[in-house]
Structure 1
Amino acid sequence: MSRELTLRIYSAIVMIAVVLACTWYGGLAFRLFAVGLGVLVYYEWSKMTRLQETSLRGYAFGWFAVIVTFANLLIGDAALTVPLMGGFVFTACLFSMFGNWTRWHAIGILYASLSAVSLSAIRGDDSVGFVAMLFVFAVVWSTDILAYFFGRAIGGPKLAPRISPGKTWSGAVGGTFSGVAAGMVVALSYFQVSSIWLPLMALFLSVSSQIGDLFESFIKRRFGVKDSSHLIPGHGGVMDRVDGLVFACFATFFLAIGFSAAGGTPVTSLGAFLLGR
């Protein structure tokens, strides 16, 4: 076994142990994990898209925006977190349209902030949130791992050759089926599944996670970088490892908003919404 592969395996074990421990404890421990993830995501995003070179004021505003949003998520009024995030993103959009900032400033604030907010909202503080988070992990991780193996074993037409030449349709389909199966195993371990809602949500999460992977590949290709950073030994950057996870959480967050708007009833628990409980 090569030194690089050994390092990659050890890093993965440590990361999984930390993530699952924080998920088990929930509450402040998980919110700290989510906020730490969001901070690292914004750091890598700003480096990749060269925000500091484009506009120092925009770069500073971005850090101010994510820090205030995350501080409120940790110790403030939970009801203010989304309005704060939305206000900062809107402000950055205005400066992008009428100032010398670029759209990458606003997208970066949204991407990093929503990473922490959506993860925290799914986990919540109860046992339903714990199961919901395990469900998301099972779908996303199985999709990512098995898509790689199916793609290598079967090959065939490329999924998006201009964005990510290594990805194939066989990998995407195989990863999706694997993600749905893994999610159902987790769900059935905790309660009886009596409707099609959970398989559909697993499918939704799996497809969303692959879109997130393609999105980050697009960003890296757009700015000519190989990895989002070198923070994780053997793995590259944090965004390289969580792109699918955070996109799946984003998608769940916006889907819940859509259902709430259509039905006129607010979603009080994102984890319960995800599991159809």
Structure 2
Amino acid sequence: MVADEGSSPPHPKPVPSKELSTRVLSALVMVAAALLTAYLGGWAFSLFWLAAGIAIVVEWTDMTAIQPRRLVQVILGVGLAALTLLVLLGAEVWFYLAVSVAFLAVGTFAVSDARKRIWAISSFLYAAPIILVPPIVRAHPDLGILGLLWMFAVVWATDIAAYFTGRTLGGPKLCPPISPKKTWSGFIGGVVAATACGLLVAWIGRRYDAALPLTFTGIAALSIVASVASQIGDLGESALKRHCQVKDSSHLIPGHGGVMDRLDGFWAVCVIVALVLLTLVGPTV
């Protein structure tokens, strides 16, 4: 997620050193865990993203006050675990669809208030790309760990550059009704940095005979689209929090809020990558 502080007014208050230290330490731990499990692949990597997906369902249903909350969370969490197992087994696409429909039906009808059933459905659909796309990319013969590093680089560069560019330059607001502190300078800074880092990952990959299946022009274009999508994903999650009248999706990650607060941008990039795989490469599961 692109931090709100990264798009503050022209003369922002400095971030307290203790708060910044907490944010940096938490970020380093998360980055290390993501990179280590990406290197290991297989079960370790899939379980890492399954944990993130379950946390998303818990945070989403907590924010939207679904009842009976724990029962719905357990049902949808088991559904996500079933999808992860299908990824590891290399199942056919129709298995994913059948399992998703089954658990969505059970989880939805377990909600006592019919008006809130849409929140149960949306929590599962929001978590699904997070648990499916990274393991599929990791196992893909033309993408593998280099494809994951590109995804990480684009999202992290967008996040960091938007934070510091917005704080330094300030300027016109990006979307005041949803996130009043974000600026266009942060948005543009994020896109530029993401494009540069996406190209850098691709260039390093080619140096070590691990090229991505796109030209540098294609990688630059896709990096721009992914960075824009990442920031739109951030705004979407901000809109949900505003609707639910909460500041953070949870307090799970010190200095950062919840898992949704950290993965809203990555979620959007997962969706972009899934669309690219389905339209250009064909189903990979």
Of 168-177 and 57-66, deviating more is 57-66
Asked if structure 1 preserves the Cα contact closer than 8 Å seen for 2:198 and 2:223, the reply is yes
Equivalent residue for 1:248?
269
Does residue 1:268 correspond to 2:284, yes or no? yes
1:234 & 1:129 partners in 2: Cα distance?
Answer: 31
Alpha-carbon deviations, 1:82-127, whole Å to 9, x = none? 314542486379869x945432111101011221011211222658
2:229 to 181, 204, 208: 208
How far apart in 1 are the matches of 2:185 and 2:240?
Answer: 24
The 1:152/1:129 distance shift into structure 2, 3 A limit, reads same
Instruction: Give the aligned partner of residue 130 of structure 2.
Output: 115
* Distance of 1:89 and 1:167 partners within structure 2: 37
Cα separation, 2, equivalents of 1:154 and 1:3: 23
Which deviates more, 205-214 or 3-12?
Answer: 3-12
Task: Return the match for 1:46 from 48, 51, 61.
Answer: 61
The reply to whether residue 161 of structure 1 matches residue 182 of structure 2 is no
Aligned residues: percent identity? 37
Considering only aligned residues, what root-mean-square deviation do their CA atoms show, in Å?
Answer: 2.8
TM superposition shift of 1:256: 2.8
| Equivalent residue number for residue 26 of structure 1 | 41
Aligned counterpart, 2:20: 5
Aligned partners of 2:202 and 2:216 also within 8 Å: no
Q: 57-66 vs 178-187, which deviates more?
A: 57-66
Q: Mind listing any 5+ residue stretches in structure 2 that lack a counterpart?
A: 1-15
In 2, Cα distance between equivalents of 1:116 and 1:239: 13
Distance 1:144 1:37 in 2: 19
Classify the secondary structure of the residue corresponding to 2:275.
helix
Residues 204-254 of structure 1: per-residue CA shift (max 9 Å, x gap): 211111111111101100000001111111211111111101111112212
Distance 2:238 2:250 in 1: 13
Instruction: Give the unaligned 5+ runs of structure 1.
Output: 270-277
The one-letter code sitting in structure 1 at the alignment partner of 2:87 is: L
Amino acid at match of 2:97: P
Q: Deviations over 1:136-175 (max 9, x none)?
A: 1111100111011111222222111111111111111111
Give the structure 2 partner of residue 275 of structure 1. Answer: none
- The aligned counterpart of 1:274 is none
- The answer to whether the Cα contact below 8 Å between 1:23 and 1:30 also exists between their aligned partners in 2 is yes
Give the conservation status (yes or no) of the 8 Å contact 2:76–2:124: yes
Correspondent of 1:197 among 201, 218, 226: 218
1:88 and 1:109 in contact (8 A); partners too: no
Question: Aligned partner of 2:245: which letter?
Answer: G
- The equivalent residue for 2:11 is none
- Seen in structure 2, the aligned counterparts of structure 1 residues 223 and 28 have a Cα distance that, compared at 3 Å, is same
Match of 1:273 in 2: none
Greater relative contact order structure (CA < 8 Å, 6+ sep): 2
State the aligned residue count. 262
Determine the C-alpha separation between the residues in 1 that align with 2:79 and 2:115: 18
Q: Deviations over 1:59-90 (max 9, x none)?
A: 55434433433343345736455314542486
- TM-score, normalised to structure 2, is 0.81
| Residue in structure 1 matching 2:82, options 24, 43, 68 | 68
Partner of 1:152: 167
Q: Assess, with a 3 A threshold, how the Cα gap between structure 1 residues 70 and 213 changes in structure 2: closer, same or farther.
A: same
Contact 1:92 1:105 in 2 (8 A): no
- Aligned equivalents of 1:45, 1:233: Cα separation in 2: 19
